[in-house]
């Protein structure tokens, strides 16, 4: 301990865990740069480490909700990560599917699964570099889970969706009111930009999960672009 106590920078690095790939670090993300750094490190172990260990279920709920609402391809998987949601969609017969994510490393893992037609590296805050009205469906599992992205990016998703496109967006229940999603959806409905909005509550993790976030819930926002 003497060596640590004599080196404040080393002591701080060892005590803090937000710069290491973990659920706690993901929930603490604040900026696009933070996001890129964390997921670049996490990509290799995400499926076998986090998803399996925490009994992660949100991607399954989101994909099934999309299909249950009549969703079909072509689909854009927003915040696709390593392709967990895309794999469920593919198993359910949905396609073609494109993946977009801020992390090139995550997209590389996703494309190796032979699920996606194309990979699009993009920061949602800056928009998605595809033509307007490109997709008949938009899904997102986990992108609006950590609180680092709010409803300000919804117009970017609507831009690339065709009229009548089905959306299935999972949103952490704790952030839904706090970050203004409720107000944003009310405004979009009032402006006749979306219709048929429903909010389905689901558990993010399964019965095998442990730790402080094991009981976290999300709302899956199902709606159509008008």
Domains of the chain: 50-225 (3.40.50.150)
CA distance 149 to 35: 11
pLDDT of residue 209: 67
In angstroms, the Cα distances linking 100 to 9, 128, 140, 169 are 36, 8, 10, 14
| Average pLDDT score over residue span 200-218 | 85
In angstroms, the Cα distances linking 176 to 33, 184, 187 are 23, 10, 14
Residue 93 has pLDDT above 80, yes or no: yes
- For residues 109 and 14, which has the higher predicted lDDT (pLDDT)? 109
Confidence of residue 44 (pLDDT cuts 50, 70, 90): very low
| Average pLDDT score over residue span 82-98 | 96
CA distance 65 to 139: 10
Residue 8 has pLDDT above 70, yes or no: no
Looking at 32-36, 40-44, 69-73, which range is the least confident one?
A: 40-44
pLDDT digits (tens, 9 = 90+) for 143-202: 897 656 899 999 999 999 999 999 999 999 988 988 999 999 999 999 999 999 999 999
pLDDT digits (tens, 9 = 90+) for 127-153: 999 999 999 999 999 889 765 689 999
pLDDT of residue 31: 52
- Note if the bond before 74 is cis, omega within 30 degrees: yes
| Average pLDDT score over residue span 199-208 | 90
Q: What are phi and psi of 101, to 5 degrees?
A: -160, 155
Most confident of 19-28, 42-51, 95-104: 95-104
CA distance 89 to 188: 27
pLDDT of residue 200: 96
Mean pLDDT of all residues in the chain?
Answer: 81
pLDDT of residue 203: 95
């Amino acid at each position: 301990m003497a060596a640590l106590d004599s080196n404040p920078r080393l002591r701080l690095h060892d005590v803090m865990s937000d710069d290491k790939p973990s659920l706690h670090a993901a929930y603490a993300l604040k900026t696009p740069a933070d996001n890129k750094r964390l997921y670049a490190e996490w990509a290799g172990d995400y499926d076998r480490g986090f998803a399996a260990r925490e009994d992660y279920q949100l991607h399954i709920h989101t994909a099934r909700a999309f299909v249950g609402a009549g969703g079909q391809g072509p689909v854009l998987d927003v915040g696709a990560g390593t392709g967990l949601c895309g794999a469920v969609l593919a198993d359910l017969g949905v396609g073609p599917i494109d993946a977009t994510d801020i992390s090139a490393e995550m997209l590389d893992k996703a494309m190796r699964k032979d699920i996606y037609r194309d990979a699009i590296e993009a920061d949602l805050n800056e928009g998605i570099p595809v033509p307007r009205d490109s997709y008949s469906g938009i899904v997102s599992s986990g992108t609006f889970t950590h609180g680092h992205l709010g409803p300000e990016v919804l117009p970017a998703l609507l831009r690339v969706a065709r009229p009548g496109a089905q959306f299935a967006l999972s949103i952490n229940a704790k952030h839904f009111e706090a970050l203004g999603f409720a107000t944003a959806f009310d405004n979009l409905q009032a402006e006749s930009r979306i219709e048929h909005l429903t909010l389905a509550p689901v558990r993010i993790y399964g019965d095998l999960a442990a730790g402080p976030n094991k009981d976290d819930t999300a709302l899956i926002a199902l709606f159509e672009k008008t």
